[in-house]
Amino acid sequence: DIQMTQSPATLSASVGDRVTITCRASQSIGRSLAWYQHKPGKAPKLLMFRASALDSGVPSRFSGSVSGTEFTLTISSLQPDDFATYYCQQYNSYSLSFGQGTKLEIK
Amino acid sequence: ELQLVESGGGLVQPGRSLRLSCEASGFTFDDYAMHWIRQVPGKGLEWISGLTWDSRKIVYADSVKGRFTISRDNAKSSLYLQMNSLRTEDTAVYYCAKDISPNSGNFFDSWGRGIQVTVSS
Q: Render pLDDT for B9-40 as a digit per residue (tens, 0 to 9).
A: 999 999 999 999 999 999 999 999 999 999 99
Question: Is B8 exposed, middle or buried, given 0-12, 13-18 or 19+ CB atoms closer than 10 A?
Answer: middle
Interface membership of A1 toward B (CB under 8 Å): yes
User: Cα dihedral sign for B34, A44, B47, B4?
Assistant: negative
Query: What does the alpha-carbon distance between residue B43 and residue A105 come to, in Å, rounded to a whole number?
Result: 16
A26-69 pLDDT, tens per residue? Answer: 999 999 999 999 999 999 999 999 999 999 999 999 999 999 99
For residues A48 and A59, the answer to whether their CB atoms sit within 8 Å is no
Instruction: Determine whether the interchain pair A101/B57 forms a contact, defined as Cβ–Cβ distance below 8 Å.
Output: no
CA distance A86 to chain B (A): 10
For residues A20 and A104, the answer to whether their CB atoms sit within 8 Å is no
A43: nearest CA in chain B? B113
Q: Would you state the pLDDT for residue B104? A: 79
Q: Residue range A16-23: average pLDDT?
A: 97
Interior angle at CA B94, CA A95 and CA B73, nearest 5: 75
Q: Would you state the pLDDT for residue B42? A: 85
Q: Would you state the pLDDT for residue A94? A: 85
Chain-wide mean pLDDT for chain B? Answer: 96
**B55 pLDDT more than 90:** yes
Map residue A20 onto helix, strand or coil. Answer: strand
Q: Would you state the pLDDT for residue B17? A: 98
Q: Would you state the pLDDT for residue B105? A: 81
Instruction: Determine whether the interchain pair B107/A93 forms a contact, defined as Cβ–Cβ distance below 8 Å.
Output: no
Residue B95 with chain A: CB contacts under 8 Å: 43-44
